[in-house]
A = this chain, B = another copy of it.
């Protein structure tokens, strides 16, 4: 049986989805159907949301689960009337925080994923543009970088740089170890002045072969001897130059990014 889950928000729904997803992963084996209702910012829209939620409950014979991040009291009261398990994020946490901080919250919507923090938002966009123009060894404006990821082709450098930029406003460049670099087995000259910023991404040969095989089936690029050679020389370069490394084989870009922040202590430009 599939249970329908609603994410109800007066803004983008990103917070509601994040919290809901996090909880749903705790119930393995159950099937959920997810519906996001963003921009529920008026009584009318809240009532329409309740009608949709109730209709699904009637149709499926099981009450939906609703993750709500609505902030305004009048809208929250409407949603709580839905025939559903309503998990009301603000109701639970805002009260204790108000008591702790000795002040009332603003109960105003739409602050978390908008551009009200214009400095932080601009930093994220600037960092994203930086990551794009300094991707894959291009541009090489490493003086401006907070970090330069180094690794063989398809070790996870590009998506990690983009995530570091968009999530944390970090200026992340990346440099792929090319055939020439690997033949000479030395630290590429473009990287030498920036040793302290370098961070190596490792990946196991078998996983690397699998990824490359999907991109260029049966090529030399995807052959086992080639990936074994590349990963071995890359490891040697990292070790000889005292470059910090992280194995990305079983990690998501979120995990790689969080590990990099933790192990380097880089200051993010955007703070929660």
Contact = CB atoms under 8 A, between A and B. Distances in A.
Given A101-B30, A105-B26, A21 B112 contact: yes
B101 A3 contact: yes
Contact of A103 (B27, B92, B132): B27
Contacts of A106: 26-28
A224 interface: no
A113 interface: yes
A94 to B, nearest CB: 6
Nearest to A16: B272
Contact of A97 (B15, B87, B158, B259): B87
A113 B27 contact: no
Most chain-B CB neighbours within 10 Å: which of A11, A26, A101? A26
Interface residues of A, number: 76
Interface stretch (A34-42, A50-58, A175-183): A34-42
A112 B262 contact: no
A166 interface: yes
A14 B100 contact: no
Contacts of A19: 15, 18-19, 89, 93
A97 B23 CA distance: 9
A121 interface: yes
**Count of chain copies:** 2
Contact of A34 (B11, B111, B272): B272
Contacts of A93: 19, 23, 87, 92
Given A65-B97, A113-B255, A15 B22 contact: yes
Contact of A258 (B38, B63, B121): B38
Given A28-B106, A111-B25, A115-B252, A17 B162 contact: no
A114 B252 contact: yes
Contacts of A114: 251-252, 254-255
Contact of A125 (B71, B97, B159, B259): B159
A231 interface: no
A25 B105 CA distance: 9
A12 B103 contact: no
24 contacts: A13-B258, A14-B18, A15-B18, A15-B19, A17-B272, A18-B112, A19-B19, A19-B89, A21-B112, A22-B89, A23-B90, A24-B272, A25-B111, A25-B112, A26-B97, A27-B101, A30-B103, A34-B272, A38-B261, A39-B258, A114-B254, A115-B250, A128-B162, A129-B159
Given A24-B272, A27-B101, A27-B105, 5 more contacts: A26-B90, A26-B105, A26-B108, A38-B262, A128-B162
